[in-house]
Amino acid sequence: MPRSAKGPPRFIILVAVLLFIAQVFIFVRRIPAVLSGDGDFHALYRAAETVRRGNAHELSDRDAAQASQNGPARPANAEVRLNPPAYEALLFVPFTFLQYRTAYVAFLGVNLALISLVIWMIWPYLERLPGVWRWFPPALFFCFLSTTLAVVRGADSIILLTLVLASAVAFYRRDEWSSGIFLGLGLFNFQLVLPIALLFLCWRRWRIVAGFIIAGAGTVVTSVMLTGCVWSGSYWHNVRSCIAQFPIPAGEMGYEVNGTTLPTLRCLLSSIAGSHITPHTVLIVTVIGSILLLLWTATRPPSYALAVLVAVLVSQYERIQDGVLLIIPIALVLDARIAPTSRTQEWSRNIAGLLFAAPTMIYLIGWRYCILVPLILALLIPLRSTTWGYDLPPAS
């Protein structure tokens, strides 16, 4: 075997081992705070308790939900996050029959099981990575920072990843009805799901759009049945409140871009120009940039990986753990470019690899994740002119 064939696996294994050690360190470091109530699972658990007690209408009232005395006290410096919609809280009701810490461990097991399911789903569509190193696909998930933070914080991001990847696999199998239904079930994180659905609407994938509308209508009806008609207005009021409290430069509204914000266009603009322009100007420029990016993407061939990448960029209020969706485009680009035959393909591979490893380095150094935005934008280039899997035969 030539040296070039031996070298990359050794380097890949070394990087994977170092990243995995870093994930263990981050996990152990974050566990005490999460067990004391500073985590996403805390909000999901208390929302589910509210539903189980028959007070689902309180989910639309942020103050009432946060004033609840069930479960550990919420730390004073905990970040502001949107209360989950009622239909999502309903999924977590079984966990409320356990004490908080026991429920957290149980949900930790569920997340690990879902990650295993996700690896199993994507494996048939990775033609080259398993040949380079058999454990490459699992390493992509277990050595990625967003996966670690989603698991340790008990976030719903792994559930969202499972639904989005199931939607992508159905799309690759040409089962577009199922693709739309899986995507619609992920509406509990509408800011990442809606842009994907909008792009498929622009691409005239009517079955995906129809399935999305059917599933979305089901989630809305379920939430309204649990909380009453007042839920809709109150929930969207809370959405606007969360977006308004998006971290922006201090001196305008008292918030700063921090180390939990997903790398988005708004995050980047706030960091670069936020001290020179007003927060409202930041929002307006971001919206214009997002619209232009969506319009450009709509002129490209239908690509699920491209849609996911754009959805991350145009999101207005998300956290770094939701960046677990980036695994989909990263994995597909690495698989296609792992053995580059040109300088352009080599650059694409290096960009995808850097985007995979950089979040962990940024976490350990203490920088802001918004510096990842140029890498995400650069990854648009290899995704712009291919369907990435749509022409593959259905996985056996």
| C-alpha to C-alpha distance for 269 and 272, rounded to whole angstroms | 5
pLDDT of residue 388: 55
> What pLDDT is stored for residue 337 in this prediction?
86
The pLDDT of residue 93 is 93
Q: Which residues of 8-35 are buried (b: 16+ CB within 10 A; e: fewer)?
A: eeeebeeebeebeebbeebeeebeeebb
pLDDT of residue 60: 62
pLDDT at 274: 62
Q: What single string gives the DSSP state of each residue in 180-231? A: HHHHHHTGGGHHHHHHHHHHHHHTT-HHHHHHHHHHHHHHHHHHHHHH-THH
Positions of the chain with pLDDT lower than 50, given as ranges: 1-5, 62-71, 73-80, 242, 245-258, 389-396
Write down the pLDDT at residue 392.
Answer: 42
Q: Assign 261 to helix, strand or coil.
A: strand
Give the 3-state secondary structure of residue 262: coil
Cα Rg of the chain (Å, integer): 21
Residue 342 CB burial class (10 angstroms; 0-12, 13-18, ≥19): exposed
Report the candidate in 195, 154, 212, 226 with the shortest Cα–Cα distance to residue 290.
195
If one counts every other C-beta atom within 10 angstroms of the C-beta of residue 252, the result is: 15
Q: DSSP code of 259?
A: T
The pLDDT value given to residue 50: 86
Where do the structural domains in the chain lie, given as residue ranges? 9-70+85-383
Cα distance between residue 369 and residue 43, in whole Å: 24
Q: Which amino acid type is present at position 97? A: F
Extract the tokens encoding 270.
């706030």
Rounded-to-integer distance, Cα 171 and Cα 97, Å: 37
> DSSP code of 252?
T
Q: Which of 150, 161, 156, 116 is nearest to 26 (CA)?
A: 150
Kindly report the number of other CB atoms within 10 A of residue 293's CB atom: 18
CA 243 to CA 316: how far, in whole Å? 7
**CB contact at 8 A, 158 and 111:** yes
List, in sequence order, every residue forming a beta bridge with 319; answer none if it has no partner: 261
**What per-residue string of b and e applies to 264-283 under the rule 16 or more CB within 10 Å gives b?**
bbbbbbbbeebeebebeebb
Q: What pLDDT score does 80 carry?
A: 44
Listing DSSP states for 151-182 in one string gives: HHTT-SHHHHHHHHHHHHHHHHTT-HHHHHHH
Question: Measured between alpha carbons, how far is 288 from 103 in angstroms, rounded to an integer?
Answer: 43
Per DSSP, what are the bridge partners of residue 261?
A: 319
